[in-house]
């Protein structure tokens, strides 16, 4: 799957590129609207992530131009927080969905999957680690033969760990990907959700799937299942 990111905030664009490449997307990035429109018209993409406030051309104009030319590539537009008029204009100019800033990577990824499914360009992705299986499309979590009920945030933390199964991930990585790129709350919230997951996924099965690596972060160990 090939995705175009049109985003002038370099930190956000770089974080999105890393995350999507880890999900096996091929990623191109444009840092201004003029370049973004040129890339969108010169290359074929499966989906476009398009910011509104851009140097050169804004996101509305890019979307409008693409739709006027008959290009119906799915577009996820990034809008200002609480920008109701931005959201309405995004949809009116032809965007398929919108996401308000700040946002979590997990939510963005879920929105992209939904767009790809609706456009017929996606395959169902199910993650497995040992005897643990999660299906992001249906939000089902199963350990062995037992279905485990998770809250939305618990599922998001677990999905990130599953996508990086076997790797040590830091608390800041989890915050950036599950909360948002501008999170300013207590970083210890990660520990709270890890405890919730262990209580639901490890304790009842007397096996340790989610491990704490002191001084480094957390690891989901497939062999722990």
Structure tokens at 164: 């990086």
User: What is the mean pLDDT of each successive set of 10 residues along the chain, which is 225 residues long?
Assistant: 91 89 86 95 91 93 94 90 78 90 87 83 73 86 94 88 89 78 74 94 90 90 75
User: What residues are paired with 78 via a beta bridge?
Assistant: 51, 99
The full set of domain ranges for the chain reads 2-118, 127-224
Q: At the topology level of CATH, where does 127-224 sit? A: Arc Repressor Mutant, subunit A (1.10.10)
- pLDDT at 153 (0 to 100): 86
- pLDDT at 97 (0 to 100): 92
Determine how many CB atoms are found less than 10 A away from the CB of residue 208. 14
Domain 2-118 is of which CATH architecture? 3-Layer(aba) Sandwich (3.40)
**Do the Cβ atoms of 134 and 140 come closer than 8 Å?**
yes
Q: What sign does the dihedral 179-15-117-41 (CA atoms) show?
A: positive
- pLDDT at 61 (0 to 100): 94
- pLDDT at 65 (0 to 100): 94
Q: Which of 69, 49, 41 is nearest to 6 (CA)?
A: 49
**Do the Cβ atoms of 210 and 194 come closer than 8 Å?**
yes
Strand blocks (E) in the chain: 2-6, 26-30, 47-51, 75-79, 97-100, 127-129, 132-135, 140-143, 146-147, 168-169, 210-213, 217-220
Topology alike, domains 2-118 and 127-224: no
- pLDDT at 123 (0 to 100): 54
DSSP state at residue 129:
E
User: What residues are paired with 135 via a beta bridge?
Assistant: 140
């Amino acid at each position: 799957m090939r995705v175009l990111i049109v985003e002038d905030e370099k930190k956000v664009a770089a974080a999105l590129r890393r995350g999507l490449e880890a999900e096996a997307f091929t990623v191109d990035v444009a840092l201004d609207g003029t370049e973004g429109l040129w890339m969108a018209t010169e290359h074929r993409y499966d989906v476009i992530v398009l910011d509104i406030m851009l140097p050169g051309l804004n996101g509305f104009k890019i979307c409008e131009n693409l739709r006027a030319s008959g290009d119906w590539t799915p577009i996820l537009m990034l809008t200002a927080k609480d920008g109701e008029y931005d959201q309405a204009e995004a949809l009116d100019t032809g965007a398929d969905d919108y996401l308000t800033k700040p946002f979590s990577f997990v939510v963005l990824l879920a929105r992209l999957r939904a767009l790809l499914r609706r456009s017929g360009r996606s395959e169902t992705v199910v993650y497995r680690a040992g005897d643990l299986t999660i299906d992001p499309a249906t939000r089902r979590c199963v350990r062995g033969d037992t279905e485990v009920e998770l809250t939305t945030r618990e599922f998001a933390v677990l999905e990130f760990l599953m996508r990086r199964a076997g790797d040590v991930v830091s608390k800041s990585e989890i915050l950036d990907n599950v909360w948002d790129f501008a999170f300013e709350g207590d970083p210890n919230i990660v520990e709270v959700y890890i405890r919730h997951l262990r209580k639901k996924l490890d304790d009842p099965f007397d096996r340790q799937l989610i491990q704490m690596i002191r001084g480094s972060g957390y690891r989901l160990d497939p062999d722990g299942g």
